[in-house]
Amino acid sequence: MIRTQIQLPDELYQEAKRLCEEREMSLAELARRGIEHMVTVLNRGKKDAPWLPPTPQALGWNDLSEEELKRLAQEGSAELEAANS
């Protein structure tokens, strides 16, 4: 394994440390996983092709009307209130 140093902005370092604590991993492990992810993503397809952001996916509640969303939200709220009683 190669040992190296990196410089991080203070805010990024603090956020990374918070993630490490939540997931019980070292900062080195977080950095390795992040670099592995970027290498995988950037090496997909042709290596000479410019990087483009991924195509957006259709997510969310697109097939429900506004009334259906409100009804489901209210049902969820009622269930939470009953469970907390």
23-71 confidence digits (pLDDT tens): 999 999 999 999 998 888 877 766 666 777 777 776 667 777 888 878 8
Q: Which residues fall within 8 angstroms of residue 20, CB to CB, at 6 or more apart?
A: 26, 27, 29, 30
pTM: 0.50
Domain assignment of residue 17, yes or no: yes
Domain assignment of residue 57, yes or no: no
CA distances from 14 to 24, 26, 35 (A): 15, 13, 18
Domain assignment of residue 11, yes or no: yes
Measure the CA–CA gap between 23 and 6, rounded to whole angstroms: 21
Residue 16, class by beta-carbon neighbours within 10 Å (0-12 exposed, 13-18 middle, 19+ buried)?
Answer: middle
**Full domain range(s) for residue 35:** 1-48
Domain count, the chain: 1
